Structure 1
Amino acid sequence: MADEDLDLVVHLGDYLYESGVKTNKRGVVTDPRFHTETFDLARYRLQYSLYKTEAPLQAAHAAHPWIHTFDDHEVENNWAGDLSQADTEPDQDPVVFRTRRAQAFQAMYENLPLRHAQMPSGPDIRYHRRLPYGRLADFTILDTRQYRSDQPCGDGDSSTCDDRFDPDNTMLGGKQREWLLNGFRTSNARWQVIGNQTPMGQTDWTPGPETHVWLDPWDGYVAERNKVLAAAQDSGVRNLVVITGDRHQNYALELKRDFADPASPTVGTEFVGTSITSGGDGADTTDQGQQFLAANPHLKFFNSQRGYVRVTADKHQWRSDFRVLPYVSKPNAPITTRASYPATWSKIANRTFSWTEISRKHRQGVVAAVAES
């Protein structure tokens, strides 16, 4: 990535993992201090220091400006608002968890390229923000952790969870949601880009009549997803692109106004980017990927290798190049473009997309959208 000619890098959460690290993906054993889960400020600082010993990460930071948003693992897996993940740890008490969150946010602020406006105040931090890139693009960076409701029916997966349709459940909280929708109404940028942590598009993982989904992403908050996508269409947004992390896989999806309605219009496009190293070497396709493609007609591409998504955008076209590696378990893997997904602005209102080989480069704005570390 450091060798790419990029204008900026967008990291979409899980810059680090709070879990203990005994070895890296290449079998290097770490110091025992890193073997247990991260709970306090000193340990979160150590975790960042461990990640930042990686020379390629240092080079990527030195070469490009970064936009970062956090997901769950910068604090703890699957946390929601003031609630910790359900387990046997002391932070089941919301007061204890808020103390942990404050220390995680402090270490994050110290170690990532953030503005003064993102300085935390104890367990609270203002992370959602809108970053204009001239008139070419508005980057709307979401916070889908601090203000959300607890995951419905637990934070696993389900095909029978009616609570995921509850209109009172929220990923964003009321104030952030209204801020997002107001941006739809007022922006004059060519591309409306939402930096988002977990897949917004429906990802049913069993073909057949049932809809079986994970409940931590937007699939657990269906009413709010429908409200956001409907507002984008009703506000006249013709150029909505959502860039997402979380899955350690590459997807390209059409975003439907209502995924329960087969005739529902497409109102945007989502590109889910894979992880850099998490998950090991990966594979081009998997049995799970074949099930995803069969169960989700709006899912147009699946890949389970490591890498990142390189975006080239100008006033005429947005193109996402899925850059992948054949392995990460040893150094010097060659990087290639597995697929490219272009959309021309003049056609985006009608959602006419096509897959192509990589073509000429538009240099008005280039972004590498990185899912995870």
Structure 2
Amino acid sequence: MKKVLILGGGFAGVDAAIHLRKLNYDVTLVSNRDYFYIYPTSIWIPTHESEFQNVCVDLRELQNAHGFTLVIDDVTQISKKENSVTLKNSGTLDDYDYLVIAMGAAKMKAPGIENTLSICGAPEQSLQIRDALDALVKKGSGKICMGFGGNPKDSSAVRGGPGFELLFNVHNMLKAKGIRDNFELTFFAPMAEPGKRMGPQALKMMDVMFKKLGIQKHFGKKIKQFEKEAIVFEDDSRLVSDFTMFIPAGDGHAVIKNSDLPTNEAGFVKTDDYSCVLNEDGSLSNIYAIGDVAALEGYDWRAKQGHIAEVMAKNTAHNIDQRDNGGSDFKGYHEHLNILCVMDTGDGAAFVYRDEKRAFMLPMPVIGHWLKKAWGVYCRNSKLGKIPRIPGM
């Protein structure tokens, strides 16, 4: 039985482990935390609509369900040349036939970033956001600013959707408490048209929503630094803020940047369409990179999302199996590139879709919110093998 070492316990890593086990590979999964975190549903933790534990799936439960070996440790070094991975506490691992890197991305660090919290950062930050919002609610008024940034070296590393969702949910929370009029809500971003990658229709609808909900906009100015009670822009203008939630753009993982793996300018691992890292002579290596750690090639509007990571994971398992059985029916991720999300608003949602042929946003009042809730239940239980996976999901 051939051995596969997987680095990372997020969407990409967990799905790779599940699919490879189904193909009867000996799989070891290394994760720096002992739970799989369902980021898309973490938007409800700050507004008390969900508890932290409801967004977590114990990796040991997944281990028992699928039969992979689990190691909780930090990756400190990867050597392509030596075919080895070094862990902080467990030493060096080199007894594997294939390496699947699914460690996610680091975050760009703007000056004063410590004065912000991110809904897409370390999972614990969702609880800190909740506590900060609770303090403002107790105070009875305040200025709340939420936004996201970009990476000039890699346009696919932007994640703005959860920022929109969290702000809409906060609006509804404050409205339900009868204190919305006491708060000034502002969405900010350095680009002139944040959300443009979703398509022109979605961009217009977002503008309508901002106006309808009384949310201020501050777009088109680069961020100079974050201060404890303000955001300072390149022209030294200031946006006063009692609480700032900011989603930094993704950046190459430090371990990847310090390795001998091929990377793009931003530090993401270069692969072919089949997620395989190529050798210098163009031949296939035994290393695959999937999810946010990989350099995503394709359209200008491409975005790193969980469902793309899952496609990469499933394809990687298939491609490894093809190689070992003398096949050549490899599957790539490029044909699956699209933007797909249910953008929750707290009292409904909007279905957002874009591919190379079309782009649209479909409002789903009330039912959309509960559909996203249902997806969270599906995500947990399908990964645990308690319910069947829906084809294509």
Query: Normalized against structure 1, the TM-score is what?
Result: 0.29
Which has the greater radius of gyration? 2
Query: Normalized against structure 2, the TM-score is what?
Result: 0.28
Q: Which has the higher helix share?
A: 2
